[in-house]
Structures are given as structure tokens and as C-alpha cells.
Structure 1
């Protein structure tokens, strides 16, 4: 479409108002010689013309004017036809908008539907379903990813609880079966006083094992729920460990085991004294239990390691058969006992190291195990070191 058909025109006029040249319907536009550049609306034969004037300057004086004009009649015709055009095209516009909105809403809500379907398909026996979102990194995508992460945590928690329940039932069944069997055997016929006393002693040992097992289970359950009372204070591990070494010395001496303490003074940490006592008594008792007669148990500090100025490392080692490397990754699992431990008849329940591991974790520390089969086994406890100056200030 040509500009003239849209109502546009242009002309050049002299300062006296004579038209020099032009195009379009410039002859229908009234003559107007402006005093300065600008806009003006002129009327001719009932038609409004919008005129913009720009001076033509040569050597500092105005020699003419360039005027661009447009008939407002065309715009008025377009405006008057607009409602009709809109009405005629409205169904198509609404249909296009509806289809486009439906497409966009389906695309935007697809992850939400996936979340809903996944949530409906999840049961206590099947927590493996995931959304596996692949799409834009927006709020919906973040919701889907967060939902999958929550399911990962729930699945791990359920599997851990199921494994814990199964292991606990298995461990409880054995001593209960022994107690039931001994009682049934004693009731099968009359027994002598000596036989009754011997059976009661055996039953007493099994009851003690049940008590240790139930106490361990209760402690682990409270650790898992974060309900274990813990009071952090400044603890001098050197002093605490020397006291514990004296307490377990009779156990070592009874089996002619050499108990060696090689600890420097003033090993300060922030911790709970009671839980630290349980931790190291567990490790020392474990070391003595699995050390052959005339062997050696040693407790010492390892300061020749990176970050030793920020950490306290306590090692508990014992000579003996050691632990097969395949068992090391599982030592801190609940109820885990090596085949050699079971065959040697040790009356542990497999919870001690799991409890020790949780206590160390509560102190923001680490517990690790190393072993050289046939020579030595070593457990290393790492705690954040407490600043000596602040420790002295706290103690004073």
C-alpha cells in the first residue's frame, strides 16, 4: 500500500506560502506558513490534517519549509472499522488464546501432575518411585527436585528402621530361646541343687546379655531421634583417659595383658564427660577383649598428622589376630560381628562400636578403624581441639 493511500502527503513551500513541489494529496492541505518548526492541525472541507513543519535553512536564513501531513480521516476510518474487525476475528482470537493457554498450562502443570501421581503410588513397602524431573530450572523444577530428595531421605530412614528392627528381633530371639530351652529342660524332670544353681547362673548371664542389648537399643534409638541429653563443657581428655586406664587395668592384668598409656597433658576438647567416658570405656574394653593373653593394649595420641593443631587424635590399639579388611567398612554397623568374634565366644551384642560412632558424631568428630591382620588393630578418635587459652579461662 502506498503512503498516499494511507493519507500521507508532503510538500515544500516558500516563506511566502507558495508550493514548490510535493507528493500525495498535498494540494488538499491548506497553506500554512509557520513561524517556527512544530505541529498543527488544519481543517479543509471537513477533513482534519495533521501537519509537521521543518525549516529549510541556508546560510543562516530560512529559504523554505518541508511539511509532512497526514489526513486524520484515514485514522478515523480505521478506528470506526476496528470494533467490526475485532468482532469478526474474536472467535479466532479466543480460540487461539484458549489453545495456547491450554498448551502452556499443561506444560507448566505436568511436573505437578507427576508429583501427585508419584505421591499416590508411594506406599510403605515401595519408596523407590521418583519424579526424575527434566525441564526448566524454575520454581516447579525446584519443587520436583526437593520432593525427590525428600523421598531419598525417607527411603533411607525406612530401610534403616526395617534393618534395625529385623536385626534387633534376631538378636533378642537367641537369648530368649536359650532361656526358654534351659527352663524347659530343668522342668522336664527333678534336678539336684547343684544343677539348679548352675542353670540359674547360666540364666543370669543370658539376662545380663538381654539387659545390655535392650540398653544399647534404647541408647541408639535416642541417639537417632536426637533425644539423648548431652551437655557440652570443656574436657581435659588426658585426665579423663588416665582415670579410665586405671579402671580397666584389673581387666587387662587378669589376662596378663600389658596396658600402656602414652598421653601428653592438657588435651582439651568441648564435649560431654559422661558420653566421652562411655566412648573410651567401650573402645578400651573392646581392645582388651580381643587381645590374646600376654598381648598389649595401648592408648596414645597421634599429633604427627595434618591439622594436628586443630584436632585431637586419640588412638586405641591392641595386638592380636586383627580384622580382615573386608570387615572394616561394616564395623560401625549395628549388630555387626565378625565370624571370628562369634566363634571365639565373646558375649558382645554388636552395638558397642555403633554407639561409639554415634557419640563421636555428636561431638563433630570422626571414628575410624585400621588393622594389620596377624599384628594389630587400631581405632582412632578425632575431636576438634579446644583452644588452650579459652579452656583455661573456662576451667578457672
Structure 2
């Protein structure tokens, strides 16, 4: 029992065993010290010395006294045993209670350290345990954790700063390349090879530009949601994203269904949440089959707002789907168009969801295709159905 269970249980058993052992030793010592029997005093003779009848009566009275003394002593022994058992039972209960109280008192700083450490994440690495008290082992542990958090914060800040600065600095040579291409194409009667090369380079530069935008947005999302949070409707964001991507939907002849069951709202960065919805819709369109379908559903309750984007297609492996929230992770060639993806779309979605205190669940549908569910905290929900079963 000492090896299993929680630390509180182990400390409780140890303290209780110590208290109970002390009680048993105390009762044993009490028993030993009170176990000396005194011999019964010889009663005075009632007869005349030398009188046989008086001597016999005295002896009979002595035997009677000894019998009664033995009975009294036996009763005392019985009462002592019962009292000792009752005392041991009471002592056992008190030992467990005192052991539990002492264990809780001793481990209280550790529970505070655990709760605070569990609350600290990449979004609030600036927080510290800041345990006060004597310079004991607990404070040394807390100071060690604070030092680790400080090093992690510095590492995260340096990483985000590097991504942001590198992305900004790379835009200058990209702009120079675009200008050089424009100058080459603007010359009188450019060669056909020059035009073809310019178109190809522009396409590659567009991809690099999109990749840099993804890096910047990912760095911003991982840094945490911005302070300018507003009240937003996921249904409206979904309508805007689907409306702007009508040509892409029509190009693949996709069956698009938009379902807004309740007018739920959430609070967050308009730019980040809009990009979240756009990335999910773009991902659903790009990695879909010709003549496939997309279902976008928005619902929620008083505590949560949910956005679900489902697509049909081939049966996917759940192990590969679980990795899609990481940067540059893609599925195999079973998903159409995966070779054209930067691999940042769903990782940006995951970072935005985490920055807004939500959850992202990626599931491979048993019938084929992918189901992406985003859950965000609700804010000022309205319990009125706005649109149900609408087809965009």
C-alpha cells in the first residue's frame, strides 16, 4: 500500500502507523507497570491461639478472601482488555484523521505548484510560481520550475521573433524578383521562352509569398490571440468564406451545404478567426474529389460554439490525420492536390484555436473523407435559430 496510490495516501498511512504504534507502545508500558500483583494481607485470626476450630475458620476465611480477590482481579483484567481494545480502535481512527491532516498540510505547497504549472502554457509563459516561505526543498523545487519557465519563455520569444523577422526580410528579395520579371517581360517583343519562364517564376513566387504569409500568421497565432477581441458570429464568417470561394467550388462541381443551427457568437480576433474559417474551407475545397461534397455546420450552446467542416472522399488513416495539425504535415497522394499544399493550413488553424482557448478535433470519416470540428468558448449566445439546412 505504501508503494501504490497517491502521495497523500502514502503519507497518511505512514503518519497513522506512527501514531498507532506509539499508542500500542504506551498501552503496553502501562500494562507492564500496572501488572505487579500485591499479595493479599493475612487477615487477623479470630480464634484463640492453639484452638483448632479457630485455625480452621481463619483458613476458610483466607480461602474465601483469596477467591474474591481472584474474581476482582479477573474482572479488572477483562475491563482492562476491553478498554485497551476500545482505546486502540479510537487511536486508529484518530491516527488516520491526524495523518490525513498532516499529509495535506505537508503537501499543500506541492498541490499549489502542480495547479499553477498545469495552468501555465505557451500563451502565458510569463507567469511564475513565486512560492514564498522558508528556503526548504519545496521552495527549491518551485524556484527550479520558475527558472525552467523563464528559459522556455526566452526560447519561445526568440523563435517567434526569428520567424517574424525572417518572413519580413524575405519579402524584399521577393519584391525585387517580381520587379525584375516585370522589367524583362515589358521589353519590346520578348521571347516566348522568357514569357513562359516569367509565368513559371511568378507562380513560384506566389507560393513563396503564401508560405511567408503562413509563417507570419502562424507566429502571430502561437504568440496568442490579440488584445483587440471582438464579438464574432461563426455563421457569418462561414458565409463570407464560402461566398468568396464560389469559383473554386464550381470548378470542382462540389455540392456545398451550409447549416447554421443557432446564432452562437464567440469573442476573439476577427483577423485570426476569419483566417481559421477560410483555411478550413480552402482545405475542404483543395483536398476534395471532382463532384464531391462539403458540409459546413455551425451550432453551439451557452458555453461552446462549434464549427464543423466535413468532406467526402477516400478512406483516410486516422494516424496520419492526427498529424495534420503540425506544420508541413500532409496526407499521402490519396488526397487530391496535396502536392500543391504548403502544409501550414491546419497547423495555423490549430494555433488559432489554441490561442482562443478552444479545441480542434480531426477525424477520418469511416465512410471516407475528413471531419474537422472546432470548438470555441461562446460569448453572449442567442438561442434563436437563424438558418437550418441552407444550401449555399
| TM-score normalised per structure 2 | 0.51
Given that 2:314 and 2:335 are in contact with CA atoms closer than 8 Å, whether structure 1 keeps it comes out as no
Q: Which residue of 1 aligns with 2:77?
A: none
In 2, Cα distance between equivalents of 1:245 and 1:315:
14
1:377-396 Cα deviation digits (max 9, x unpaired): 111111112234799xxxxx
Q: Which residue of 2 aligns with 1:199?
A: 197
In 2, Cα distance between equivalents of 1:165 and 1:331:
24
Shift of 1:344: 4.4
Q: What stretches of structure 1 of length at least 5 have no aligned partner?
A: 1-136, 184-191, 392-396
In 2, Cα distance between equivalents of 1:139 and 1:362:
36
Given that 1:249 and 1:259 are in contact with CA atoms closer than 8 Å, whether structure 2 keeps it comes out as no
Matched, 1:140 2:136: yes
1:113-157 Cα deviation digits (max 9, x unpaired): xxxxxxxxxxxxxxxxxxxxxxxx963323332244346544698
In 2, Cα distance between equivalents of 1:246 and 1:237:
14
Q: Which residue of 1 aligns with 2:215?
A: 217
In 2, Cα distance between equivalents of 1:193 and 1:330:
46
Q: 1:366 to 1:200 in 2, by over 3 A?
A: same
Q: Which residue of 1 aligns with 2:271?
A: 274
Given that 1:324 and 1:373 are in contact with CA atoms closer than 8 Å, whether structure 2 keeps it comes out as no
Q: Kindly tell me the number of residue pairs found equivalent between the two proteins.
A: 233
1:295 to 266, 278, 292: 292
In 2, Cα distance between equivalents of 1:232 and 1:358:
16
In 2, Cα distance between equivalents of 1:309 and 1:347:
40
Given that 2:298 and 2:305 are in contact with CA atoms closer than 8 Å, whether structure 1 keeps it comes out as yes
State which structure, 1 or 2, has the greater radius of gyration over its C-alpha atoms: 1
> Alignment partner of 1:331: what SS?
coil
1:342-366 Cα deviation digits (max 9, x unpaired): 9845322111112111212222211
In 2, Cα distance between equivalents of 1:344 and 1:389:
39
In 1, Cα distance between equivalents of 2:296 and 2:351:
21
Q: What stretches of structure 2 of length at least 5 have no aligned partner?
A: 1-132, 182-189, 385-392
Q: 1:254 to 1:390 in 2, by over 3 A?
A: closer
The structure that is strand-richer by fraction is: 1
> Alignment partner of 2:282: what SS?
helix
Shift of 1:279: 0.6
- Relative contact order: is structure 1 or structure 2 higher (C-alpha 8 Å, sep ≥ 6)? 2
Matched, 1:333 2:347: no
> Alignment partner of 2:346: what SS?
helix
In 2, Cα distance between equivalents of 1:352 and 1:368:
15
Given that 1:309 and 1:385 are in contact with CA atoms closer than 8 Å, whether structure 2 keeps it comes out as yes
Q: 1:379 to 1:160 in 2, by over 3 A?
A: farther
| Within-5 A mapping of 1:161-240 | 193-226=191-224, 229-240=226-237
| TM-score normalised per structure 1 | 0.50
> Alignment partner of 2:340: what SS?
coil
In 2, Cα distance between equivalents of 1:289 and 1:373:
20
Given that 1:313 and 1:383 are in contact with CA atoms closer than 8 Å, whether structure 2 keeps it comes out as yes
Shift of 1:318: 0.6
Matched, 1:149 2:145: yes
1:187-243 Cα deviation digits (max 9, x unpaired): xxxxx82222222111111111111111222222233344x6442222222223222
In 2, Cα distance between equivalents of 1:353 and 1:318:
15
Given that 1:164 and 1:334 are in contact with CA atoms closer than 8 Å, whether structure 2 keeps it comes out as no
Q: Which residue of 2 aligns with 1:7?
A: none
In 1, Cα distance between equivalents of 2:211 and 2:350:
17
Name which of structure 1's ranges 339-348 and 376-385 shifts more when overlaid on structure 2.
339-348
Q: Which residue of 2 aligns with 1:256?
A: 253
> Alignment partner of 1:339: what SS?
coil
Q: Which residue of 2 aligns with 1:375?
A: 368
1:311 to 288, 293, 304: 304
In 2, Cα distance between equivalents of 1:194 and 1:230:
51
In 2, Cα distance between equivalents of 1:157 and 1:337:
30
Shift of 1:339: 3.2
1:271-295 Cα deviation digits (max 9, x unpaired): 2222221110000000111110000
